[in-house]
Amino acid sequence: MKITKVFTLLAMTGLVFTGCNNADKKANVENPFFVKWDTPFQVPPFDKITSDCYMEAFEKGIQEQNENIAAIVNNNEAATFENTIVALELSGELLNKVQGVFFNMIETDRDSVMNTIAEQILPKLSNHGDNIMLNEALFARVKAVYESDEAAKLQGEDARLLKETFKSFEFGGANLSPESKEKLRAINTKLSELTFKFGKNLSQETNAFQLIIDNQADLDGLPEGVIAGAAQEAKAKGLDGKWLFTLAEPSRVPFLTYSTKRELREKVFKGYANRCNHDNEFDNKEVINEIVKARVEKAHLFGFKNYSEYLLQDRMAKNPENVFGLLNKLWASAIPNAKKEVVEMQKIVDAEGGKFKIEAWDWWFYSEKVKQAKYSLDEEMLRPYFVLDNVRDGAFELAHRLYGIHFNEINDIPVYNKDEVRAWEVTEEDGKHIGVLYMDFHPRESKSVGAWMTAFTEQSNPKGENIPPVISVVCNFSKPSGDKPALLSVDEVQTLFHEFGHALHGLLSNCKYRSLSGTSVATDFVELPSQVMENWALEPEVLNFYAKHYQTGEVIPQELVTKIQNSGLFNQGFMTVEYLAASLLDMYYSTINEVKDIDVLKFENDEMSKIGLIGEIIPRYRSTYFKHIFDGDPGYSSGYYSYIWAAVLDADAFQAFKETSLFDKETATSFRENVLSKGGTEEAMELYKKFRGREPQIEPLLKRRGLN
């Protein structure tokens, strides 16, 4: 998952600004956001930033951007591209700095203080964004440039910036009536509060779950490393001699896969699947109801039937019909495969005298048995070869072979968590600085679940001076345990390559304007750079330079590589169906046409019943913890389909390498120059066609998933 930092702007009156807290004020220490950062490569001075710094930095940032906007509006000269469009693009420098740190930190090191700051600032951010987008005098100048003779002469990125700026005002309500503008302000403020509440509830409910085991017999079936990790988690909580399992993926997934205790698997599974659905303080059902109503109301203000039509107008898919067309086509092929997989698992249950019907909490356990029976492949046979540091270095080496870039670890640089975060300088072959990459790999209570890439500073070059990117990759991988290093599952390996692909998109950006750079592209295009990297992860030539046994250093044997390849289509029915179910659920929410109350669970159950989702599978994300679509506005709302949309692109793109060679320099250079470096400076399909020479074909994806 990639987090796009499209943060709303803000407006407030100015205050007197000195230090971040009382002690700093007495010492007359200036807020670190108010000075030029003298850190290596101008990364944020994390060692100097405290929670007390944020609010005053937000407020001063608001004030400064308001002054920037006033200068544009009050300019007596005729509106030009330079004095209006570029001036607007460059406004809010301080605001960008503080947002770039705060909204990343609340995902990695959330606490009650950060939550309070967010609750206070989000409505103000929403109001400020509306103040800009609904500023009639400002829009008049933007429109004047858009319709001017000068506009027709603009080329390349300048022309794109003008077009996107004008569209952002239309999208933000500049053409609405005065009455509708006021309604929009209220809706946007409400959505900012609701989506934050959704994420806060999810974080707290996820952290609240604990399965504490004090009887060693209840550990039956679990691998040694999983047991050791659970003991380590328990000890950290003061539960010496016991074993603690949580909903973090490195704990939950192995438990569901290997525990022979069906009743405990059910407990863990239901703890995960029923998050924020318990009629308690963390319940998200009413939050979702209010979000959906507000989004429909917002779409209606703009003359659209539903929120999906409003959002998709600027994405590759263009309209809901095209999304449903792809999803339904894939669903028709995937659901029969999933049903066949159930039959295979049920045979094992029956042969063992189980006398029960496969349920959703049995899938991981019995699919693993099927895999072992069919392919003699056990996930635990592979982990010893996937040492986290080696996998990371393997991704680095792949990037070097494709793009000629280097990753050099930096030890004397500020990091936001000294125990967990490491940093690398990224350089060209000739040593030229590209950017900085932070990596933060392991779970902690303060961190959101999942994996993502984001940016503290986005690349730009507006005045002829390149501003290099500062990129971050955040994951929740298995921790080191005892004398064992962190050993990854195959899924975790692919996740690392995925997020690293997003990082390359941000690092290799070569754009003039920040708002068009890096990952600032259509939601259904942004997953291409990440997903295409996954294709290399398990290729034998790539495995040979990073998959090495943690004890012996032995490269993964060809026998295991062959088993991995042979099992490539294994469980594809399940994985495709659970993903498509979530994608369709997202689309059903975003194509609601009426502003009306909905019973969230009934809505989810009814829609899943209509498409024929089998009882043994639940959507990858159920409504109350569907963070992609309800935590942030719009986030991936009406956009979760993007992963499969981009899968069509990435399968077709990787085919270009398979037609030449895995590390073909000419193909890699074309991908870097036409996709990775271009950001959103051109239409996504045009960028893809420049790389591939044609539009993408769906056949490589169907073949990869066994759906043809």
Give the type of residue at 165.
T
How far apart are the C-alpha atoms of 106 and 101, rounded to whole Å?
9
How far apart are the C-alpha atoms of 379 and 490, rounded to whole Å?
7
Task: Give every CB contact of residue 689 below 8 A, 6+ residues apart in sequence.
Answer: 695
Residue written as tokens 């920040």?
Answer: 514
How far apart are the C-alpha atoms of 590 and 601, rounded to whole Å?
16
Task: Give every CB contact of residue 307 below 8 A, 6+ residues apart in sequence.
Answer: 295, 296, 298, 299, 590, 591, 592, 634, 637, 638
Per-residue pLDDT at 382: 96
pTM over 0.85: yes
Q: Name all domains of the chain by residue range, CATH numbers in brackets.
A: 22-175 (1.10.1370.40), 209-273 (no CATH), 285-377+572-640 (1.10.1370.10), 384-566+643-704 (1.10.1370.40)
Task: Give catalytic residue positions.
Answer: 499
pLDDT band at 24 (very low <50, low <70, confident <90, very high): very low
CA-based R_g, the chain, Å: 25
Pairing mode, if any, of strands 433-440 and 470-474?
parallel
Question: Which structure tokens are listed for 586?
Answer: 């997202």
**Triad 278, 452, 157: Cα angle to 5°:** 130
Provide the β-strand partners of residue 440: 421, 474
pLDDT digits (tens, 9 = 90+) for 465-487: 899 999 999 999 999 988 899 99
Residue range 588-593: mean pLDDT, rounded: 98
Residue written as tokens 């205050």?
Answer: 15
Per-residue pLDDT at 21: 54
How far apart are the C-alpha atoms of 276 and 291, rounded to whole Å?
15
How far apart are the C-alpha atoms of 309 and 288, rounded to whole Å?
19
| % pLDDT > 90, the chain | 92
- Phi, psi (deg, nearest 5) at residue 526: -65, -25
Least confident of 25-39, 135-149, 350-364: 25-39
pLDDT digits (tens, 9 = 90+) for 242-260: 999 999 999 999 999 999 9
> Over the chain, what is the mean pLDDT?
94
Provide the β-strand partners of residue 213: 243
Per-residue pLDDT at 1: 65
Per-residue pLDDT at 12: 27
